[in-house]
Amino acid sequence: MRASLKLPTNDRKLELFELSEPRDFPKRATAPFNRIAYSAAHVVADPRAAVDPWLDCAIDWDATIAYRRHLWQLGLGVAEAMDTAQRGMGLDWPTSLELIRRSLDAARDTPGALVASGAGTDHLAPEDAKSVDDVIRAYEEQVGTIERLGGRIILMASRALARVARSTGDYERVYDRILSQVRAPVIIHWLGDMFDPALAGYWGSADPAAAMEVALGVINGHAAKVDGVKISLLDAGKEVAMRRRLAPGVRMYTGDDFNYAELIAGDAHGHSDALLGIFDAIAPAASAALAALVAGDRARFDAILAPTVPLSRHIFQAPTRFYKTGVVFMAYLNGQQSHFTMVGGQQSARSLVHLSELFRLADRAGLLADPPRAVARMKTVLALQGVEG
């Protein structure tokens, strides 16, 4: 008998939902992929810590690092201390640095583990930034600190820079300065304002085409210091257009959680590698699909990822910045953590109806690994909000 439960609908009713059998995805990768694939990884809060959860950041370090080992086992790299880890939405710089240190230490004990870590300016409050020089010093502090730990850099977009920059030249000056100093090629992250409204007008223009010209000038002008660029604009056309204009050797890492399947598969002119928040939530499917691509089985690649796209589009629906709630909810449903508590109290950022639809879509993608456990945990969440049936 299949597991089932009653779930809320948009019209305030309850409907019976019967779960399907989960997909039998491999538990580990057995060969390297032909795409570089980073999963931006979430953090697990410590619900037993005696803190004010909206104000203080308490992390369950054991569970957080265990999840990274899970990703590495599946052949995925870890993009550490990024937006998915609630950077700027509950995760401060001191805790981010501790997270990076612990992740790098764990990676050294894991053959083949890939880690790149977010360096930004978030220890500098945007309102405290008075000049571009303040932004440069903030970037230099975080980049230098991560490099001293032996980490690879993902150069994150800066809220402070977006606040103080008065021209495209200010962006060029900051990135020229930082890229001229880094020890090893970095990944540049262009995060759209749908993920963070404070980044509106990044690169000095509200027009994405004009902003792209500035970004391309910076990247191609420092190609030897840029491993790749991750753009998170949720627009496949813009990503492909930029990808085709990158200097030789500079990778495009898709950050498009709406169109990742087609972008990773690529076309006659090239493909995107991946640095995706959704890979945290769909890691077993992502690993299996990438293995199919290595085997030249495009049909299997498409068949695995196609049902994950509606799930991803739901998790990342507007307000997109609250997608982290869905990512952590998936980890809870699948037993990767014992609770649905988030840093900053962000478990409350999505409605019960939203989480119920996420549950349905995760089932249709074959991503609820243990249906009875998923049902039991979903019922707990429902009961906490007064829904029993």
The answer to whether residue 296 is domain-embedded is yes
Listing DSSP states for 328-367 in one string gives: HHHHHHTTSSS----GGGGGGSS-HHHHHHHHHHHHHTT-
pLDDT tens-digit map of 282-326: 999 999 999 999 999 999 999 999 999 999 999 999 999 999 999
The answer to whether residue 357 is domain-embedded is no
Of 183, 154, 180, whose CA–CA distance to 255 is shortest? Answer: 154
**What pLDDT is recorded for position 57?**
93
The answer to whether residue 374 is domain-embedded is no
The answer to whether residue 122 is domain-embedded is yes
Q: Are strands 251-254 and 226-232 parallel, antiparallel or unpaired?
A: parallel
**What pLDDT is recorded for position 388?**
83
Q: How many Å apart are CA 311 and CA 234, to the nearest integer?
A: 15
Q: How many Å apart are CA 271 and CA 273, to the nearest integer?
A: 7
Q: How many Å apart are CA 79 and CA 64, to the nearest integer?
A: 13
Beta strands in the chain (DSSP E): 4-8, 14-18, 37-40, 77-80, 115-119, 153-155, 186-191, 226-232, 251-254, 273-276
Q: What is the CATH number of the domain that holds 69?
A: 3.20.20.70
Count CB atoms within 10 A of the CB of residue 14: 15
Count CB atoms within 10 A of the CB of residue 148: 9
Q: What is the pTM of this model?
A: 0.96
Of 297, 354, 293, 357, whose CA–CA distance to 320 is shortest? Answer: 354
The answer to whether residue 376 is domain-embedded is no
Q: Would you say 182 and 153 are in contact if contact means Cβ atoms under 8 Å apart?
A: yes
Which structural domain range is residue 213 located in?
31-352
The answer to whether residue 6 is domain-embedded is no
**What pLDDT is recorded for position 2?**
86
Q: Mean pLDDT, consecutive 10-residue segments, the chain of 389 residues?
A: 92 95 93 97 97 93 98 98 96 97 97 97 96 98 98 98 97 98 98 95 96 98 98 96 98 98 97 98 98 98 98 98 98 98 96 98 97 97 90
**What pLDDT is recorded for position 389?**
65
Quote the number of domains for the chain. Answer: 1
The answer to whether residue 153 is domain-embedded is yes
Of 117, 168, 161, whose CA–CA distance to 139 is shortest? Answer: 161
All residues at 6 or more sequence positions from 193 whose CB lies less than 8 Å from its CB, including other chains:
199, 200, 201, 202
The answer to whether residue 338 is domain-embedded is yes
